[in-house]
């Protein structure tokens, strides 16, 4: 990982799309600071396409797509994308799995929830679970005392033993059924909403993130950027970003936005 200030100016000028994780990338200590929200405004004002790529739930993503200065949102680690069409006053919702599949998945995840909570004392169902459509989020440090990483890995292993996909974020372990992740749905968003082939424009994309569930994005995008707290979890990553900011969380994202806007 190189310091962000070593990203060449010509690379920054070529960026057309900014994709970003939310928790601990846009947020700092669980809150969205004004500097990060202003950074989203500044990026869009400079003509860049901005899309959060998050593990957060459908209910939150509906709000984000409607009210934040973004061009859409990929949620629940790739379960769907939402895009609000202001001219038509309509929310466009695209899921990876259909409603019947999601209903079957929900029943299986409900059974799995009890097994995980019984096996890992101190873990809890995420407070945002009521607003989810496709996955189960197990909280290991957002609203509960932080669990050791070996217990976090145990949660992940329990999901996988049941045939689910599991990813570790900075606060949750998210588990789901289905062959998708953040990158899978990002590809669909680019093709169906932006009319772009992601492989063809990958060098015009910056992805910002901080945790293991961002690894597919870090691996794919040569100009990926970790906010400084990515270093906290680097030993648990399958892939690392190409660059890292000097600041953590939302302040780190604002640092990235300034670097991109100034190059234009």
Residue spans per domain, the chain: 2-96+180-262, 99-176
Is the pLDDT confidence value at 236 over 90? no
What pLDDT does 233 receive? 86
| Average pLDDT of the residues in 65-80 | 97
Strand ranges, E, within the chain: 2-3, 17-20, 49-52, 73-75, 80-85, 90-95, 124-125, 136-139, 165-168, 172-176, 205-209, 225-226, 243-244
Report how far residue 27's alpha carbon sits from residue 249's, in angstroms, rounded to the nearest whole number: 6
Cα 73 to chain centroid, rounded = 9
First-to-final CA distance of the chain: 24
Report how far residue 86's alpha carbon sits from residue 66's, in angstroms, rounded to the nearest whole number: 8
User: Percent of the chain scored above 70 by pLDDT?
Assistant: 100
Q: What pLDDT, in 10s, does the model give residues 109-154?
A: 999 999 999 999 999 999 999 999 999 999 999 999 999 999 999 9
Q: What is the fold, at CATH topology level, of the domain defined by 99-176?
A: Hypothetical Protein Ta0175; Chain: A, domain 2 (3.90.1070)
Q: What pLDDT, in 10s, does the model give residues 168-211?
A: 998 999 999 999 999 999 999 999 999 999 999 999 999 999 99
What does the angle CA 250 – CA 167 – CA 157 come to, to the nearest 5 degrees?
A: 140
Question: Which homologous superfamily does the CATH classification assign to the domain defined by 2-96+180-262?
Answer: HAD superfamily/HAD-like (3.40.50.1000)
């Amino acid at each position: 990982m190189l310091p962000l200030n070593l990203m060449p100016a010509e690379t920054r000028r070529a960026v057309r799309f900014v994709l970003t994780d939310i928790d601990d990338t846009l947020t700092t200590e669980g809150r969205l600071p004004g500097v990060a929200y202003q950074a989203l405004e500044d990026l869009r004002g400079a003509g860049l396409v901005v899309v959060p790529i998050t593990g957060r739930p459908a209910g939150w993503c509906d709000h984000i797509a409607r009210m934040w200065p973004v061009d859409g949102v990929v949620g629940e680690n790739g379960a769907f994308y939402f895009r609000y069409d202001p001219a038509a006053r309509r929310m466009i919702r695209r899921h990876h799995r259909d409603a019947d599949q999601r209903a079957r998945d929900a029943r299986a995840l409900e059974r799995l929830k009890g097994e995980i909570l019984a096996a890992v004392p101190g873990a809890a169902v995420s407070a945002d679970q009521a607003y989810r459509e496709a996955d189960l989020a197990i909280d290991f440090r957002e609203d509960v005392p932080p669990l050791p990483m070996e217990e976090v890995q145990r949660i992940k292993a329990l999901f996988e033993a049941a045939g689910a996909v599991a990813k570790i974020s900075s606060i949750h372990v998210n588990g789901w059924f289905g062959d998708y992740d953040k990158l899978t749905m990002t590809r669909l968003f680019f093709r169906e909403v932006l009319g772009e082939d992601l492989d063809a424009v990958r060098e015009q994309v910056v992805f910002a993130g901080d945790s293991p569930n961002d690894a597919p994005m870090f691996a794919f995008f040569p100009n990926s950027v970790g906010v400084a707290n990515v270093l906290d979890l680097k030993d648990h990553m399958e892939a690392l970003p190409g660059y890292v900011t000097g600041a953590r969380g939302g302040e780190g994202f604002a640092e990235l936005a300034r670097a991109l806007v100034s190059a234009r």
